[in-house]
Structure 1
Amino acid sequence: MNELKRLYALCRKSDSVFLTVLMRYLGYRLSGKMIFAHQQAIIKHADHISTNGPLKVGLDYAGFVHRNDVTYLNIDGRLDCKGTASIGRGCRMAVGAQGRIELGQRTFINALTTFVIMHTLRIGDDCNISWECQFLDDDFHEIYYEGRKAQPSPDITLGRRVWVGSRVSIYKGTTIADGCVIAANSVVRGTFDEPNTLIAGNPARVVKRNVSW
């Protein structure tokens, strides 16, 4: 009963239809998944999603989104949630047939963020991703030129407790160490293996060390 009360309160705050959310949850639960989805959430290939805790899709409150904003998850590959996770309203997620997204425990993704993942995206435990971010691990169109170096792995990896500011773009081959903060509007590509740093700019670089949040 307390769980139902909490769900009802969440739905009221986030302008979600409680009965719709509940009925959709019961349907997903029959297939062994714990998915709480807003009435405007579209999930294709939900059978490609695994959950080890509640996954909220479009439910958490954000004051700048509308109740009719559509959240669209197109999971041709895999979406694996290691624990409780939240995907904000208006997010877009396209996972290719060979792609995989792994969300760590207590992952929070704010509204209007886009994921286009053809390879692998790993997000560690306790990460916060702000609104209107972009994650892209493929160029789709190759450019060839003299002296072109061999390309590294296209996978994107965020360590534990990484905070990604609003409107950040993270591109293929990026690794972010534990405890880092990425400043708003940064464009990030490459390996940042020093933990607890502030990463900022276009192209992004380390601007502060021994950062905590």
Structure 2
Amino acid sequence: MRRIFNKIRSVLKFYLAVNWIKTIYFNFKKFPFHIAKKLPIFFYGSVKFSNISGEIIIDAPEIKKGMIGFGQKFEMLTRSKRIAEISILGKLVFKGNAHIGIDCFLHVGENAYCEFGYMSCLGSNVKLICKEKVILSNWVGIGYESQLTDSNFHPMMNTETGEQYPMTSPIFLASHNAFSNRISIMPGTKTPENCVVASNSVVNKDYTDLGNNILIGGVPAKLIKRNYNRDWESEKEMLKKFKIIW
């Protein structure tokens, strides 16, 4: 009897957590009816749609209800500041299940391209700003209070030569990357597969020449250890069970 009661309570708690008005509005606004009726994107709690005029594509073998969650509470931190916001003017592509934590800011600028791979994840209070191109491959996890931006936002120059530096440069994060908390992922960042990044680091260049299975960190980040990786295989089934709603 207690088990049944706990199950009912859990289901009620979940349904009360979903922002059904924003969920229904967004899905039917951005997808054709045959996709929208499945409600593939769930919004939880308060979220502001500052602009959703861009294109959202789910490029997955199967589209399911709630496969993409925005505002999910899957970390130890569970209280929201009610500051979540999305602004999609360019193209946002999901390659499968994806998870975005509470109080995140997601911006894809005009003519920009942003891609979330299968089981990619943004922790709470993460800011992702894409002005040109940002790709998170499969199983990329970004820790809480981190920021990703492929833009300097302002024109920068060499004061001796007068050379103008590019304002934007694409970010590519390879599969099975684990980013700890409060990391700044800057324009031009490119990581290898099976890479771990230490807390409070600044990553700002191409690290692929270091090879796979590495730990990097620091300001700016540099190689700390080789033959180092998150044990993804031991966690995958647990993560799927914990984060995939349906």
Q: TM-score if structure 1 supplies the norm length?
A: 0.85
Q: Who is 2:129 aligned against?
A: 116
RMSD: 2.7
Q: Who is 1:35 aligned against?
A: 41
Match status 1:79 vs 2:87: no
Q: Given the alignment, which residue of 81, 86, 92 partners 2:105? A: 92
Q: Is the 8 A contact 2:155 2:164 kept in 1?
A: no
Q: Is the 8 A contact 2:132 2:170 kept in 1?
A: yes
TM-superposed CA distance for 1:68, in Å, is 4.9
TM-superposed CA distance for 1:152, in Å, is 10
Match status 1:140 vs 2:153: yes
Aligned-partner residue type, residue 175 of structure 1: K
Rounded to whole Å, the distance in 2 between the matches of 1:200 and 1:106 is 24
SS of equivalent residue, structure 1 residue 17: helix
Q: Which runs of 5+ in 1 are unaligned?
A: none
Q: Is the 8 A contact 2:186 2:203 kept in 1?
A: yes
Match status 1:199 vs 2:216: yes
TM-superposed CA distance for 1:95, in Å, is 1.2
Aligned-partner residue type, residue 82 of structure 2: D
Q: Is the 8 A contact 1:77 1:95 kept in 2?
A: yes
Rounded to whole Å, the distance in 2 between the matches of 1:76 and 1:10 is 35
TM-superposed CA distance for 1:93, in Å, is 1.1
Specify the structure having the higher radius of gyration (Cα). Answer: 2
Q: Is the 8 A contact 1:45 1:76 kept in 2?
A: yes
Q: Who is 2:238 aligned against?
A: none
TM-superposed CA distance for 1:77, in Å, is 0.8
Aligned-partner residue type, residue 124 of structure 1: S
Q: Who is 1:12 aligned against?
A: 13
Cα pair distance change 1:152/1:197, threshold 3 Å: farther
Identity %: 23
Match status 1:161 vs 2:167: no
TM-superposed CA distance for 1:204, in Å, is 0.7
1:51-101 alpha-carbon deviations (Å, 9 max, x no partner): 234110002333324245232111111111000000111011111102111
Q: Given the alignment, which residue of 111, 119, 122 partners 1:106? A: 119
Aligned-partner residue type, residue 83 of structure 2: V
SS of equivalent residue, structure 2 residue 10: helix
1:151-175 alpha-carbon deviations (Å, 9 max, x no partner): 5970000000000110000110110
Q: TM-score if structure 2 supplies the norm length?
A: 0.74
Q: Is the 8 A contact 1:168 1:186 kept in 2?
A: yes
Match status 1:210 vs 2:219: no
Rounded to whole Å, the distance in 1 between the matches of 2:196 and 2:168 is 23
SS of equivalent residue, structure 2 residue 185: strand
Q: Is the 8 A contact 2:157 2:165 kept in 1?
A: no
Give the 4+ runs in structure 1 shifted more than 3 A. 8-11, 20-30, 147-153
Higher relative helix content? 2
Cα pair distance change 1:10/1:105, threshold 3 Å: farther
